[in-house]
Each structure stands twice: as structure tokens, then as C-alpha cells.
Amino acid sequence: MPFLICHSSVLEATLKKLRDELDVMASAHTKASEFFSTQGDLVEKFKKDQSVNKKGVEETLSKAQSAKCSQLSKTKQLEKTYVRRCQEKDSAEASLREIYTSSTAQAKEIEKARIKATKAEEEANKAGELDKSHTCYTMLSAYYTHTILLRRV
């Protein structure tokens, strides 16, 4: 019998040690589960934030592209206007020179041609200024759009 008592106390001690180790392992698994669950929630939040940021950047890029196309169209139109006004100016000046060299030109015709040439020159200058200012505006707009996109990233 003493052997059974001794043997029984060893078994109880081993069983207690095994239970303690199982409790420690269960606790570690529970803590790990909580940690990974928290990390999973953080990853989901990060993905959601990235999705929102992506949509914002895409909207900004879309607006910038639309503005860029609009600016390009307007720049082309202003350039065409400028070229047309310069051609009108050249034609008015040629007409004025022709009237000056004509021996049958009357003072009224000369004055009319001079006014037309002056007006054509003024319109050509205005068109040139608009073209230059729009080009500067377009360049500044592109710079600011680029700056805004860099801030968002």
C-alpha cells in the first residue's frame, strides 16, 4: 500500500502540473486570439481608409484631367483666335499700304483703312495677351494640381 500512496501522489502531482501547463497554453491561445482579432480589425480599418483615400485621389485626378482637357481646348481656341487676328492685322496693314500707294485714294478711304488697321492691331494684341495669360494660368493650374496630389499621398 505505501507504494500506491506514493505512486498516487506522483500521479496527482503530474496531473496537476499537466493541468497547469494546459491552463497556461489555453491562456496563451486566448491572448493570441484576442491579439490577432484586434490586428484583423486594424487591417480592415486600414483597408477601408485606403479605399476612401483612393477614391479621393481618383476624383482629384479625374477633375484634374478634365480641367487639363478643358484648358488645352481653350488654349488651342485662343491660339487660333490669335493667329486669325494677326492675319486680319496683316491684311489691314497691307490694305492701308495699298491705299497709300494708290493715286486715286481719298482721305476718307485712307482714314477708314488706318482705323481698321489700328483696330486690328489692338485686337491682335488683346488676343496675344489672352493667349499668354491663359498659358500662364494653365501652367499654374497644373502646378497646384500636382501640389495637391502630393499632399494627399
31: cell is 491572448
User: Whole-angstrom Cα distance, residue 56 to residue 149?
Assistant: 10
Q: Which of 28-37, 107-116, 119-128 has the highest mean pLDDT?
A: 28-37
| Cβ atoms of residues 148 and 131 within 8 Å | no
Q: Is residue 93 part of a domain?
A: yes
Using the structure block, give the residue that is written with the C-alpha cell 496693314: 93
**Percent of the chain topping pLDDT 70:** 82
Q: Is residue 69 part of a domain?
A: yes
pLDDT per position as a tens digit, 15-49: 999 999 999 999 999 999 999 999 999 999 999 99
Model pLDDT, residue 55: 92
What's the rounded mean pLDDT across residues 128-152? 64
* Phi, psi (rounded to 5 degrees) for 102: -75, 140
Band (117; pLDDT cuts 50, 70, 90) = confident
Give 103's DSSP letter.
T
Domain of 124 in residue numbering reads as 63-153
Number of independent structural domains in the chain: 1
Q: Is residue 14 part of a domain?
A: no
Model pLDDT, residue 24: 96
Q: Is residue 8 part of a domain?
A: no
Q: Is residue 83 part of a domain?
A: yes
